[in-house]
Structure formats: structure tokens, C-alpha cells
Amino acid sequence: MSDAALLASKIRLIMQLRRNGVSDTNVLSAIESVPRDRFVEPEFADKSYEDIALPIACEQTISQPTIVALMTQALDVTDRHMVLEIGSGSGYQTAILAKLSRRVHSIERLPDLSALATERLEQLKLRNVTFHVGDGTQGWPHAAPFDRIMVTAAAFADAPDALLMQLADDGIMVIPIDQGNGQQTLFRITKEGSTFVKTPLGEVRFVPLIED
């Protein structure tokens, strides 16, 4: 695919995201500035600006751009925020968060994916990110609390306690939760004093969050 064709497909994608309810201009600019074609396997590069999920290494998937954009918008990130991400995957969502926040800690359980994501973000010169290999359901206590927590794999029944504990006051978490009936619902959880307020945002489809 030529550079001109890639650019045209990128512009079409941005228009599609707007139609799908993405109105936050910071989120749209972040999507525009991160080359998704570098995060997919080479054979899918010409599909990288279509609004579809695509396979990545280790049988995982890079989420559909509309989902990435809507989740990022729901997270309401600013450049003052410390962000924790669970499920680095390709590193695409990590790169978007890096553009919008002060610092990102991203945890991935599969070392090969984490290594590839690290390499990609280095190439893009996004230096405010630290990748960790491990079980993200435990969070990253060394750098807690986090203003924002983004989980990109589906938790079972509820958000992991360790992640709730590591959310700062007035913090926001966005997390898909498997309701046990084969359905996954995306939730926005805000910490208000000692209570957590959970708002459903819609049905989604993610790979499971695996507890190691």
C-alpha cells in the first residue's frame, strides 16, 4: 500500500470514529499520530486503518480502533496523569495513552509481546512508558496510586481488588467485565471517597484476563 493510500485510509478512519461517538479532539489527534500499521503483523498492514480488530502475535488481538478510542475517551486522561495499563498486547493502546498522559506503566503476561511492544514504542520515541512482564491482576504497587487504570482484557465477575486498591482518589478505571453469561460489559469505575461507582458503557469482546 502506498503512503498516500495509507493516509487516505487513516482519514476515513478518523471520520468513522467521529460517527461512532468519539468527540474528544485529544483522543482523535492521538489516534491520528500513532501509526497503527506498525503494531499489526506485516501481512495485515494494509488493513491497519480499517475499523476492525486484528490478530497479533501469541494468538492475541489488537482492539478495533473505535473501541480503543471510546475506552480512551471514557478514561478522560490528561498530561498530569499517572496511568496503569493491563494487557500491553501490541503496545498500540499504550502508545495512545503515552501521548495523552504524564507516564504509563503497562503490564503484559506474555514476555514476547512485551518485548515487541517495548521495541515499537522505542522506535516511536515514546519515552514516558515502562513495560513490565507479569500478572496485571496484581497491579503495580511500586508506582501506585494511579490516576487512571485501563484494562484491555476481560476480568471475570468483577474488577480485581488489587487494581481497585491502587486507584487514586477521584481516579477512573475502564475495564471489560465478563458477566458470566457469555457477555462482556465495558465499565467505567470512579473512586469517590471510599466508594466505587460503576457505570456500564456497552457490550464488548476481549480476550480473558488470565490470573497467573
Q: Enumerate the active-site residues.
A: 63
Q: Which of 161, 169 has the CB closer to ligand SAH? A: 161
Does 87 interact with ligand SAH (rule: CB under 6 A)?
A: yes
Does 209 interact with ligand SAH (rule: CB under 6 A)?
A: yes
For the CB of residue 5, give the shortest distance to ligand SAH in the complex, in Å. 23
199: Cβ contacts below 8 Å, ≥ 6 apart: 187, 188, 189, 190
Does 153 interact with ligand SAH (rule: CB under 6 A)?
A: yes
Q: Which of 151, 172 has the CB closer to ligand SAH? A: 151
Q: Which of 101, 137, 166, 184 binds ligand SAH (CB under 6 A)?
A: 137
Under a CB-based contact definition with an 8 Å cutoff, are residues 54 and 13 in contact? no
Q: Which of 103, 109 has the CB closer to ligand SAH? A: 109
For the CB of residue 195, give the shortest distance to ligand SAH in the complex, in Å. 26
**Interacting residues toward ligand SAH by CB under 6 A:** 56, 60-63, 86-87, 89-90, 92-93, 107-110, 113, 135-137, 152-153, 207, 209-211
